[in-house]
Structure 1
Amino acid sequence: MKSLTIALILFFYLLTNNFAQNYEAEKGKAHKEARVSILTKKQIKPSSTVFKRPNKNWKPEKWTFSKSNIINQEEINTRSKESYGPTIASPVPDTSFAGLIDNGTSIPPDVNGAAGPNHLMQTLNPQVRITDKSGNELFTTSLSNWWEPMPGNGGTFDPKIVYDPYQNRWIMITPSGSTSTTSRIYVCVSTTSNPLDDWNFYWFDTDTDNILWFDYPNLGFNKKWISIGGIMRNSAFEAVEFVVFTLDKNAAFNGDDDISLNKFTTNLGSAIVPAFTYDEEEENLYLISTGDGNDNGSGYINLFTLSGTTVDPVFELEGSIGIPEPWENWSYENHGDFLPQLGSSEKLNSVDARMHTMIFRNNKLWAVHHIYLPADDPTYTAIQWWNLDTNGVILERGRIEDENQEYSYAFPSIAVNANEDVLIGHGVFSDNIYASAGYSYKDHIDEPGSMRDVHIYKEGLASYYKTYGGDRNRWGDYSSVSVDPVDDIDFWALHEYAEMPTGNSIWGTYWAFVKPSFIPVVDFEADEILIPTGETINFSDLSLGVPTSWEWSFEGGTPATSSMQNPGEILFDQEGSFDVTLIASNSLGSDTLTKENYISTSTSILPDVEFTSDITAVCTGKEVKFTDLSEYSPISWEWQFDPSDITFVNGTDKYSQNPEVVFDEANLYSVSLTVWNLNGSSSITKFDMISAGGYTLPYIESFEEDSYKPDDWLIENPDESVTWELENIGGTSPGNQAMGLQFQSYLIGKYDRLISPPLNFTGSTDVILDLQHAYANKYMPISDSLNIYISPDCGITWEKVFTAGEDGSGSFATHELTENFWPEISSDWCAEGWGADCISLNLDNWEFMHDIQIAFETYSSIGNPLFIDNISVSTTLSTDENIKNENEILAFPNPSNGSLSVKIPENMKLDELLLINKLGQIVLRKKIDPNQHLINIEEDATRTKGTYLLVVRGPEISKNIKVILF
């Protein structure tokens, strides 16, 4: 029995020391600080004055691996000699363009970025930028401004970003503070796939004992976790231990207030890199780090896993992996300034051989780092990449290197697409060139271990030397490549290059969009598929796989064939339906697609007329842009306006397809458009489409989806920070939206204005402005406040008509003092519970005027949010209790919930009533007895909410009345 016990103890000892090694978790919480609309953040163009710290005393890690737990050891070199050298050319970029450029505030930039469905994000030490996929700038701010809501913000560095294509969210992380007492990690996640929408912001302390501080973050994710690996340093900048954090990803995506956090530490390896997990079913998250590059002639890396539940993960060392091709992990001379450049004896800093990126895809792991060669006396750097299974078995590996030692490659990143094509982005360095941006490509059909030729997509323009008083000529520290989530095939690369200096040396960044070749998958489209006989059509190739030749066949077309990629002006001069065929080819093969009866021609089809305008309520003298949306090959246009007192501007006239028009008088204008094609003409009239001088009364704005027009309202946000935005609320009717401004994350003393569309008071008396508001003081005696202004000339001059702030007695607040206020029930609003009545203002001073605008201005004192809803500008003239002119035709109540009455004076004889919607369609036609003087219109569920034209007419009179149904 004794010998059996000893055997069991020995077995379990060997089990724990030769297989997975567990690490204990330190548990905590990441705290939600704010939900922020990105477009409310201040956008900046000038340089900031905050410099990234140059880290004078920086020291490399002690590179270690688990000698007792080597899970895979190559005894002989399995890397094919063919993979050492060039093969065939990497594909050239489909497009490339500039990213952020040096603004003189940070070395290095720490280049990072990612691609989403419609946007690119670039997160650098100096700035954050969002662009479209053509490189057009949509938003730029400083890194510190991006993290403005966060506690301790001011020393941010090393940001990283990734797009989760399975839940369609962006994830961004950034450390803040490089001392043990200030070190935090900031995390934010987008609420949609659009990075210009709201984000949830979180933070956590990296060392609750305040002994070490966190540096060099590495970001990863899977279906359960956001994972962050990095280095914990002491005050001497020495690496003391390596750390992995896990956060509950789905809780963050849900916007929960506090989310579970786990922290694991190890002394093994170096900076640990979690994988980007491109598999929405994978339970585990894999991690990797560089080990000793030269231990008795072998180099090692370390593989880790995270398993278990979301809130109780298990972090384990799976083991170390060795190969008989050693390398050095950094250069000990010149503090790591090692990379050569043209035109200068000063070299660029290469940091060290830490891992840069890992990808999990198809149950395989792909990782990359740069290494120093030869191992015993390095003279150049090479890119080393790995393809492992999840047990650590090497499936293939390779190096991007110049064995002639003329070129060095460094700061790599790796991406793997759905076909297992691989793109590695990296810098290119040599005495023969300035520091440049490049990449290397591997197709899924290429030989294992091989990589195609290096392609430089942005050449450096000058030598570079800048230290800001440090002892290193900083470059990197990393780069970024990602797969486009739209097709999961194409790649985006982002890297640094040396820009032409303007005094001091300057770095720049550059994007490249790379489309891998494969056997084409053919598709195409036509700009029209139903046309008048005798018209022409333009065709566009939509084929995937980068075809290089095209063969088109057009049944019934002239010409009948084409070899152009996008042939145009194909004539179809016979009536009927016709096939179109495209064969797309490249060196790998071809694909054919025939769309049967794709094109139809007709001798009778007329234009389907439609148009729109950029605004419908306009100040007199202001331009309105009309856009023709007509279908079926329109060739000419004629516009008419009723009344006709308008002026065409900017070189347009009544025959322009898209005219620009100034409305000279305050009035309701109907707009008609006649469009011709080869078969004839069609027309449409939109009655009372344009409200020149402003909307006539009554005007109601409930801010609900079915009625609110964002383009009607103007927001003045002088500091380009927090401002008015639509919020989801409760307690008012109809609907669940109101306009609000969140003062709690705003600076004191800031003003923002929400400005109404123009309004027309012509013919109106007893004009009243009514609105609901909701607000609660957060601190006493400080109060946020609301001011209301009226402009009689569309915003040129303003007069204050109302101002209010809470004095503690309920004079303005609608809820008692509280730290967290958000309206949810009716008693949270004015006139319903505690506190103030609703605001009602007499605007008779502006009766009979037009081009009126109303501004709602907030003044911030860092309190609770302020909300306004159900704005109404009305006159008593339109109600049955206040009929003042017995000779007028009146409709009441107006606005109406669907049913209304029409009063006809005794002396008028009318015989017909029409109700016409905004599209000019008659939705109600009713015959009237000439002796009938009160007509009731019943509610009809088929009539949608909105503005209608009520027409009552007889032999000698016709009267139009605007009515609103809600």
Structure 2
Amino acid sequence: MFHQLNDNGILEVKAAARLIRSTNLSYRVAFFLYFSHMKRIAIVLFAFTWMAESRLCAQHTSVSWEKKILSAEGPYITLHKPESEDFFSHVQHLEAPPPGGEGFRAYLQQLKDSINQLPRRTDRKRGTAEQIPGPILHRQFEGNSYNGSAPNDNHIAISRNNLIISVINTNIFTYDLNEDSLLSVQSLQQFCAPLGLPDVKYDPRVLYDPDEDRFILVILNGFTWQTSWIAVAFSRSSNPAADGWNLYALNGNPLDNETWSDYPHLAVSGSDLFITVNTFLNGSFNNSGYVESTFWQLDKMAGYRGDSGLTAAYFHQLRYQPDGADTMKPIFNFTPIKGGSGHYGEKMFLLSNENLAPESNRYFLTIVNGGAASSNLKMVEMRSSQSYGLPPDARQMQNHRFDCVDARIQDGFFENNILHFVHNTITPLNGAGFVYGRIYFPEFEHRSIDIAHYYHDSLDFGFPAISYTGRNALENDAIITFNHCGREYPSGMSACYVDHEGRLSEREEVERGAGYVDVLGIGVQRFYERWGDYSGSQRLYQTPGWVIGAGYGSKANRRPETRIALLSSPHWQSGPPSVDFARDFKLYPNPAQRFFEVEFILDEPQKLRFVLTTAAHAKGGSIDLHAAQVRRGANRFSFNTTPLRNGVYNLLIINENGELIKRTKVVVAN
């Protein structure tokens, strides 16, 4: 049993009986669908809810998988280059996922629409409350510059020597906290240039390996099977800003089955790097076209050394047999679990749930043992003491809304034989919040999982990240960072503290935000925005009890921003930190950038080139700014004009047949 945040921001004891009340939510959604002339979907939901109401303890699960041994192309050496040479070019699709469709996509869209129409409750119940101290916010500042992409996809890592690497969907921000110095800002396109891969770069993830004092950075390329690759970079030293990276490329369509890889997550064991991905068919939107969830296992030491032809094991066709079922079924999304104070050996835990279910209490723990060439796995199905479900959209000011995607596991760590995890969920008030849970080892196969819902009556929360703040084996506390927004409240970043017993503190505001985010959508879709799709958090290994987090904020111009925060446990009293966080930082802003933007509409997906020429010499002196497969509908292309000399240029948008899609004049006066 955990404590939960109730409508008024106080802690309220919740019993496992919440399962019954929470399950009724699924029935309410089903009734809504039934009387909205969606009887088939309602019947499916009734059946799903009925099957979910079963025993809570873990079940030994039959599992099957296939493993393919492949090799990564590389290494190539990539170095940080001056920002003055980087155009930060990017194409942003502006439309919300299209309505309609067939099959699972139509079912999921109708289900989310029905959840969004459920009335937001404002119950003000007061239970047995127990106040605990919240996290201490020591410093927060703006990180990566917004370069035209949504969502942010914030992720962050920090070394023992206080070198910060913060990434978003367009750029990599490297900051020396000791010297209060911004070392570099580099686009994902320029970082991956040695690989020679055309098309868009996105979904960056970064981690710091405390055992080896190195960084690992993963970036995806392309959202079609023809262009899908995974860029994997291992830092050549503890300071990649100076010494660069060993850069490899994994095939995003390794089975040659016309699928592409999306949504990576990564963690390291004592010997290996694990990268999980989901695979889709071309033309997929928001989980439609899903094929399967897979993961890679690579020898991290070979990557640090820069070995040629890095060996990689690819696990696919992962299936489990639900209790009482005759057939095997796939699991959607695997999240590798990081260590708390350090690695937890040669094995890796992968945690999954039923992230697209309107209501569920099922979790799946996959345990991988052994190195890449000889590894094997087993799976255990577990049940939680309460249920979770597909979250509704989060409310913003001016009737704008954030897409909370689904309830997949967002983050987690393992320490002192306890696996801590967090993910999005619908709340008992029909709003958007998150789950905090614990899985106890070794008795996890004989008891239910303890989870708690964190929510508020007038605010919505999403995309939590969690890191360990304990100082020894007697402490199991943590800090959770997450995004917040509200119908009458700015969009920003918050945090809460989890004590040794698993109780959650009141919300500590990291950055209130300056308003709401409005960068996507056209016409009636103008109110749809992307949030997340994830946020980042890491323990400061050099200063136990402290964490660094990267999350989502809003500016007065309705653009998103990255906020970086340094927080500590309220009980941190073990001497001064490794950096004097109390002193006044200069916190130099990102170098000035001037962006040019142009919008255009395509009747069908096309492969496009974006070329800049001087107005007087359209056939000579051209600069290839960008090349990418671009989606049908409204799109926005942007690039940084700072590297250009003052003058008049022509921007040409050309398809693969050489046909001119659009020409527009660009006047540069830096």
Is TM-score (shorter-chain normalized) higher than 0.5?
A: yes
1:294 is displaced (CA, Å) by 6.2
1:324 is displaced (CA, Å) by 4.3
Tell me if the contact between 2:90 and 2:200 (Cα under 8 Å) persists in the aligned partners. Answer: no
Alignment partner, residue 97 of structure 1: 141
Percent same amino acid among aligned pairs?
A: 21
C-alpha separation in 2, matches of 1:270 and 1:482: 25
- 1:208-243 deviations in whole A, cap 9, x for unaligned? 314111111111110121111121111231211111
Q: Does 1:322 align with 2:369?
A: no
Query: What is the correspondence of 1:138-287 to structure 2 with a 5 Å cutoff?
Result: 138-196=183-241, 197-208=243-254, 209-237=256-284, 238-265=289-316, 266=318, 268-278=330-340, 279-280=342-343, 282-287=345-350
The aligned amino acid for 1:308 is G
1:354 is displaced (CA, Å) by 0.9
Decide which structure has the larger Cα Rg and report it.
1
C-alpha separation in 1, matches of 2:549 and 2:479: 8
Among 105, 110, 124, the residue aligned to 2:153: 110
1:41 is displaced (CA, Å) by 5.9
1:422 is displaced (CA, Å) by 0.3
Alignment partner, residue 349 of structure 1: 403
Alignment partner, residue 312 of structure 1: 374
The aligned amino acid for 1:24 is E
1:140 is displaced (CA, Å) by 0.4
Q: Label 1:469 to 1:229 Cα distance change in 2 as closer, same or farther (>3 A).
A: farther
C-alpha separation in 2, matches of 1:84 and 1:202: 54
Q: Label 1:519 to 1:246 Cα distance change in 2 as closer, same or farther (>3 A).
A: closer
1:101 is displaced (CA, Å) by 3.0
1:479 is displaced (CA, Å) by 0.8
Alignment partner, residue 412 of structure 1: 464
Q: Does 1:291 align with 2:371?
A: no
Query: What is the correspondence of 1:760-799 to structure 2 with a 5 Å cutoff?
Result: none
1:252 match: secondary structure: helix
TM-score (norm 2): 0.66
C-alpha separation in 2, matches of 1:92 and 1:412: 18
Higher share of residues assigned helix: 2
- 1:351-401 deviations in whole A, cap 9, x for unaligned? 111111121223321211010124xxx720221112213453568744352
2:144 match: secondary structure: strand
Q: Does 1:125 align with 2:169?
A: yes
Among 163, 181, 186, the residue aligned to 1:136: 181
Tell me if the contact between 1:107 and 1:474 (Cα under 8 Å) persists in the aligned partners. Answer: yes
- 1:612-648 deviations in whole A, cap 9, x for unaligned? xxxxxxxxxxxxxxxxxxxxxxxxxxxxxxxxxxxxx
- 1:893-941 deviations in whole A, cap 9, x for unaligned? xxxxxxxxxxxxxxxxxxxxxxxxxxxxxxxxxxxxxxxxxxxxxxxxx
Unaligned runs of 5+ in 1: 1-16, 64-80, 332-337, 523-541, 548-564, 567-748, 750-966
Q: Label 1:144 to 1:210 Cα distance change in 2 as closer, same or farther (>3 A).
A: farther
Query: What is the correspondence of 1:896-911 to structure 2 with a 5 Å cutoff?
Result: none
1:178 match: secondary structure: coil
- 1:805-864 deviations in whole A, cap 9, x for unaligned? xxxxxxxxxxxxxxxxxxxxxxxxxxxxxxxxxxxxxxxxxxxxxxxxxxxxxxxxxxxx
Q: Label 1:323 to 1:443 Cα distance change in 2 as closer, same or farther (>3 A).
A: closer
C-alpha separation in 2, matches of 1:28 and 1:366: 32
1:125 is displaced (CA, Å) by 0.8
Q: Does 1:32 align with 2:74?
A: yes
The aligned amino acid for 2:387 is P
Tell me if the contact between 2:313 and 2:372 (Cα under 8 Å) persists in the aligned partners. Answer: no
C-alpha separation in 2, matches of 1:177 and 1:543: 42
C-alpha separation in 2, matches of 1:90 and 1:546: 21
The aligned amino acid for 2:141 is F
Q: Label 1:439 to 1:433 Cα distance change in 2 as closer, same or farther (>3 A).
A: same
2:164 match: secondary structure: strand
Q: Does 1:401 align with 2:454?
A: yes
- 1:31-77 deviations in whole A, cap 9, x for unaligned? 21412333x465567652433686735987999xxxxxxxxxxxxxx
The aligned amino acid for 1:306 is V
The aligned amino acid for 1:429 is C
Q: Label 1:21 to 1:126 Cα distance change in 2 as closer, same or farther (>3 A).
A: same
Alignment partner, residue 473 of structure 1: 529
Q: Label 1:46 to 1:400 Cα distance change in 2 as closer, same or farther (>3 A).
A: farther
C-alpha separation in 1, matches of 2:498 and 2:569: 9
Query: What is the correspondence of 1:583-622 to structure 2 with a 5 Å cutoff?
Result: none
Among 484, 489, 497, the residue aligned to 1:433: 489
1:426 match: secondary structure: strand
Alignment partner, residue 563 of structure 2: 510
1:251 match: secondary structure: helix
C-alpha separation in 2, matches of 1:294 and 1:206: 27
Tell me if the contact between 1:363 and 1:389 (Cα under 8 Å) persists in the aligned partners. Answer: yes
2:303 match: secondary structure: helix
Among 479, 487, 505, the residue aligned to 1:423: 479
Tell me if the contact between 1:159 and 1:173 (Cα under 8 Å) persists in the aligned partners. Answer: yes
C-alpha separation in 1, matches of 2:167 and 2:130: 33
C-alpha separation in 1, matches of 2:459 and 2:76: 47
Unaligned runs of 5+ in 2: 1-58, 109-124, 319-328, 584-620, 622-670
Alignment partner, residue 591 of structure 2: none
C-alpha separation in 1, matches of 2:549 and 2:175: 15
Q: Does 1:339 align with 2:382?
A: no
C-alpha separation in 2, matches of 1:54 and 1:435: 21
2:463 match: secondary structure: strand
Q: Label 1:150 to 1:451 Cα distance change in 2 as closer, same or farther (>3 A).
A: same
1:169 is displaced (CA, Å) by 0.6
1:275 is displaced (CA, Å) by 1.5
Tell me if the contact between 2:174 and 2:182 (Cα under 8 Å) persists in the aligned partners. Answer: yes
Among 435, 454, 457, the residue aligned to 2:507: 454
1:480 is displaced (CA, Å) by 0.9
Tell me if the contact between 1:410 and 1:427 (Cα under 8 Å) persists in the aligned partners. Answer: yes
Alignment partner, residue 372 of structure 1: 426
1:323 is displaced (CA, Å) by 2.1
Q: Label 1:217 to 1:52 Cα distance change in 2 as closer, same or farther (>3 A).
A: farther
Q: Over aligned residues, Cα RMSD in angstroms? A: 3.2
C-alpha separation in 2, matches of 1:83 and 1:217: 40
- 1:662-687 deviations in whole A, cap 9, x for unaligned? xxxxxxxxxxxxxxxxxxxxxxxxxx
The aligned amino acid for 2:386 is E
C-alpha separation in 2, matches of 1:198 and 1:476: 28
C-alpha separation in 2, matches of 1:84 and 1:236: 50
C-alpha separation in 1, matches of 2:166 and 2:572: 32
Q: Label 1:101 to 1:37 Cα distance change in 2 as closer, same or farther (>3 A).
A: closer
Q: Label 1:432 to 1:469 Cα distance change in 2 as closer, same or farther (>3 A).
A: closer
Q: Does 1:387 align with 2:438?
A: yes
C-alpha separation in 1, matches of 2:487 and 2:529: 16
Tell me if the contact between 1:292 and 1:299 (Cα under 8 Å) persists in the aligned partners. Answer: no
Among 483, 491, 498, the residue aligned to 2:539: 483
C-alpha separation in 1, matches of 2:129 and 2:264: 33
Q: Label 1:496 to 1:154 Cα distance change in 2 as closer, same or farther (>3 A).
A: same
Query: What is the correspondence of 1:911-950 to structure 2 with a 5 Å cutoff?
Result: none
Alignment partner, residue 555 of structure 2: 499
Tell me if the contact between 1:220 and 1:226 (Cα under 8 Å) persists in the aligned partners. Answer: yes
The aligned amino acid for 2:299 is D
C-alpha separation in 2, matches of 1:308 and 1:498: 44
Among 95, 119, 132, the residue aligned to 1:88: 132
